[in-house]
Amino acid sequence: MGDRLDEQPPPSSNNRSSSSSGANSPSPLESPAPVATPTPLHHTATQAQQQQSILSSTAIVNMNMAMLTQSQTTIVNNGLRNRNANVDQGLSHPSFTSGNVRLRNIAGPPSQYIKLNVGGYLHYTTVATLTKHDSMLRGMFSGRMEVLTDAEGWVLIDRCGKHFTVILNFLRDGAVALPESTRDILEILSEARYYCIQSLIDLCQAWLDLSQKNEDSLPVCRIPIITSSKEEKSLLQSTTRPTIKLLINRHNNKYSYTSQSDDNLLKNLELFDKLIMRFHERVLFIKDVGAANEVCSWTFYGHGQKVTEVCCTSIVYATDKKHTKVRSF
């Protein structure tokens, strides 16, 4: 018996392991539980911090985008609101809105400068200019009337500013060169009546009356008739146009009372009339009926100086002795 015990092989290492852990070993019917690999504590903390940082950055970006979108929306809405206010008021002043204008009295020394926004046209002038004449502008800028101003100090006047420069120039000098257009004069007259500038009203009305008179009158060609060399000299000095003078003196004793002489004289008069009808806008024509030695002669002037003279001696003498004399100077 003892021999058999001695002959048994020694237990293997596996058997020893099994025997040593027999109390803790799972039964054959149970699956072995997975064994978790231990994670270092410092690695877990770093991942948590990174995730928290990413979440915080995402939240900040989303918040900034929301604020930027809201700011852009506010800017666009304000711009549209300001534009609509300017269009409704007919003004081009960019800062004009219904919320930043107010009524106030303006009264200052004559040297004080005033900023004016007249229908979108900006002007800069002194109190002295605006109060120089008895007008509505004097009442506005002497403290007697309230004026509308914006946040930047511009005085707002709800009128067309196209001709306000003419208004200011008239206030400064008491006179102004008016444009040649009847339409512009009518527009200036309307503004002068609004501002109650009586002197400018009279000036515009006089211009319109004269223009109407010129339109009603028929075009007339006027030819001066002279009787002396003094009158001739005065006319030549008062014009820069070329001049043609026809001398007619039928009372001269040298005049030949023949049919040919009369015909020749009438031919010269007809030629003179034809030239007048064709060139009176470019040439000054003069008719001389003074007591000269010649009966019929043509004189041509340039720049006030005599250029050529043609004497019609065929009118003076009989037909068989007629000839034409031309003098050049």
Is the pLDDT at 320 greater than 70? The verdict is no
CATH number, residue 184: 3.30.710.10
Report, as an integer, the average pLDDT of 277-291: 89
Q: What's the confidence (pLDDT) of residue 90?
A: 40
> Does residue 197 form part of some domain?
yes
Tell me which residue has tokens 């009356």: 209
81/119 Cα distance (integer angstroms): 19
Count structural domains, the chain: 2
> Does residue 301 form part of some domain?
yes
275/279 Cα distance (integer angstroms): 6
Give tens-digit pLDDT for 102-127. Answer: 898 888 899 999 999 999 999 999 99
250/166 Cα distance (integer angstroms): 58
- pTM metric for this prediction: 0.40
Are the beta carbons of 170 and 176 closer than 8 angstroms? yes
**Domain range spanning residue 171?**
102-216
What's the mean per-residue pLDDT of the chain?
A: 75
Q: Is residue 116 domain-shared with residue 211, that is, in the same domain?
A: yes
Q: Which of the listed residues 190, 216, 242 is the one where a domain comes to its end?
A: 216
Q: Is residue 111 domain-shared with residue 172, that is, in the same domain?
A: yes
Q: Is residue 184 domain-shared with residue 234, that is, in the same domain?
A: no
228/129 Cα distance (integer angstroms): 53
CATH number, residue 257: 3.40.30.10
Give tens-digit pLDDT for 30-56. Answer: 445 555 445 454 445 556 666 666 666
Give tens-digit pLDDT for 285-312. Answer: 999 998 777 888 999 999 889 999 998 8
Q: Is residue 212 domain-shared with residue 229, that is, in the same domain?
A: no
With a pLDDT cut of 90, the percent of the chain lying above it is 41
Q: Is residue 287 domain-shared with residue 322, that is, in the same domain?
A: yes
